[in-house]
Amino acid sequence: MKNLAAEFIGTFALVFAGTGAIVIDETTGGTVTHVGVGLTFGLIVLAMIYSVGDISGAHLNPAVSLGFFAARRFPLREAIPYIGSQSAGALAASGLLHLLFPENKMLGTTVPAGPGIQSFVLELILTAILMFVILGVSTGAAEKGITAGIVVGAVIGLEAMFAGPICGASMNPARSLGPAVISGHFQHVWIYLLAPVTGACIGVLGCCCVRESGCCSYTGSHPTQDACASASSTLKAKQLSQC
pLDDT single digits (tens) 199-226: 999 999 999 999 876 666 654 444 444 4
Three-class DSSP category at 57? coil
- The pLDDT value recorded for residue 242 is 43
Query: In this structure, is residue 170 part of a structural domain?
Result: yes
Query: In this structure, is residue 239 part of a structural domain?
Result: no
Q: At 36, which CATH number?
A: 1.20.1080.10
Query: Distances in Å between the alpha carbon of 227 and those of 38, 53, 134, 148, 167?
Result: 31, 10, 18, 15, 37
Q: 69-111, pLDDT tens digit by residue?
A: 999 999 999 999 999 999 999 999 999 999 999 999 999 999 9
Domain count, the chain: 1
Q: Model pTM?
A: 0.87
pLDDT at 230 over 90: no
Query: In this structure, is residue 191 part of a structural domain?
Result: yes
Query: In this structure, is residue 243 part of a structural domain?
Result: no
User: Which one, of 99, 67, 100, lies nearest residue 216 by Cα?
Assistant: 67
Cα torsion 132, 136, 139, 143: sign = negative
Query: In this structure, is residue 241 part of a structural domain?
Result: no
CA–CA dist 56, 51 (Å, integer): 10
Q: 69-79, pLDDT tens digit by residue?
A: 999 999 999 99
CA–CA dist 82, 173 (Å, integer): 13
pLDDT at 228 over 70: no
127 near 173, Cβ under 8 Å? no
Query: In this structure, is residue 240 part of a structural domain?
Result: no
pLDDT at 31 over 70: yes
- The pLDDT value recorded for residue 232 is 35
Q: What average pLDDT does the structure give for the chain?
A: 89
Q: Which domain holds residue 205?
A: 2-233
The lowest-confidence range among 141-145, 148-152, 170-174, 223-227 is 223-227
DSSP state of 139: B
Query: In this structure, is residue 152 part of a structural domain?
Result: yes
CA–CA dist 187, 155 (Å, integer): 28
- Between 67 and 221, name the one with better pLDDT: 67
pLDDT tier, 134 (very low <50, low <70, confident <90, very high otherwise): very high
Q: Residue 197, CB half-sphere, CA atoms under 13 Å: how many?
A: 13
Query: In this structure, is residue 91 part of a structural domain?
Result: yes
